[in-house]
């Protein structure tokens, strides 16, 4: 399963715990030394809903999922702040020197006057937006040119990469528990989160809802 995000971005499901919902209920029943071989849509779903509703979240730490995330550096830095229940491995430009790709805005947002972070709907003229987007692309191209010039001059990639902007795309492989992914999703889809990061968090939520349908629904409070 792979979901495209923005222009070059994507999130791909690499692996996950099979029968994750069944693992949740069997982990919960461990206290009574019991387990089910097959998921019971009625009884087991009722148990999952109870666990989520009452805050008994430990069983949701057992299923895991591994995603390959391709996104701008500034997005990954926000996602990567979540460390509990996760393992992160990222592409390193100490070892690769291929042509980088960049995220560029399609429209601009304004800085709100009453808060320290976030953004608001922009009221820029069409001409100004087009000029900023064009200049952004030019700056990105120039940074690549200087990066390649440094490499051609014998500068080590680990130093040359410093001239590349945060809008450059990077790739990581991330493994997290179901509960960890839900915590990330919950925080990174809040309205004050940067819009571009919300797009990736929503894609993560779509994948988790597909592979852990009952547990994900219960954690989101969508079940009774």
User: Per-residue pLDDT tens for 76-130?
Assistant: 998 988 777 889 999 999 888 888 999 998 887 777 776 666 665 666 677 888 8
Give the right CATH number for 2-92+167-219 from 3.40.50.300, 3.30.1360.170, 3.90.45.10, 3.40.630.10: 3.30.1360.170
**How distant, in Å, are the alpha carbons of 73, 136, 139 from that of 106?**
18, 11, 16
Candidates 94, 130, 161, 188; catalytic one: 188
CA distance 219 to 57: 9
Among this protein's residues, is 94 annotated catalytic?
Answer: no
User: Where in 25-118 does DSSP place strands (E)?
Assistant: 64-72, 86-90, 109-110
- Dihedral sign of CA atoms 139, 143, 149, 152 in order: negative
Helix (H, G, I), strand (E, B) or coil at 195: helix
pLDDT, one tens digit per residue, over 9-55 is 999 999 999 888 999 999 999 888 888 888 889 999 999 999 999 99
The answer to whether the CB of 96 falls within 8 A of the CB of 128 is no
């Amino acid at each position: 399963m792979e979901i495209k995000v923005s222009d070059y971005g994507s999130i791909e499901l690499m692996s996950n715990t099979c029968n994750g919902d069944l693992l949740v209920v069997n982990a919960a029943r461990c206290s009574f030394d019991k387990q089910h071989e097959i998921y019971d849509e009625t009884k087991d779903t009722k148990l999952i809903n109870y666990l989520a509703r009452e805050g008994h979240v430990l069983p949701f730490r057992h299923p895991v999922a591994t995603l390959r995330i391709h996104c701008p550096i500034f997005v990954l830095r926000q996602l990567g702040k979540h460390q509990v229940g996760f393992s992160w491995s990222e592409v390193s430009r100490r070892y690769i020197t291929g042509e980088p790709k960049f995220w560029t805005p399609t429209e601009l947002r304004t800085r709100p006057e009453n808060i320290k972070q976030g953004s608001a709907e922009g009221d820029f003229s069409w001409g100004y937006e087009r000029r900023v987007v064009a200049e952004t692309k030019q700056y990105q191209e120039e940074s690549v040119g200087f990066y390649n010039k440094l490499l051609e001059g014998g500068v080590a990639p680990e130093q040359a990469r410093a001239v590349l902007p945060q809008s450059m795309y990077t790739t990581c492989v991330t493994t997290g528990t179901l509960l960890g992914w839900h915590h990330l999703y919950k925080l990174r889809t809040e309205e004050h989160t940067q819009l571009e990061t919300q797009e990736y968090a929503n894609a993560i939520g779509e994948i988790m809802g597909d592979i852990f349908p009952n547990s994900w629904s219960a954690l989101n409070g969508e079940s009774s």
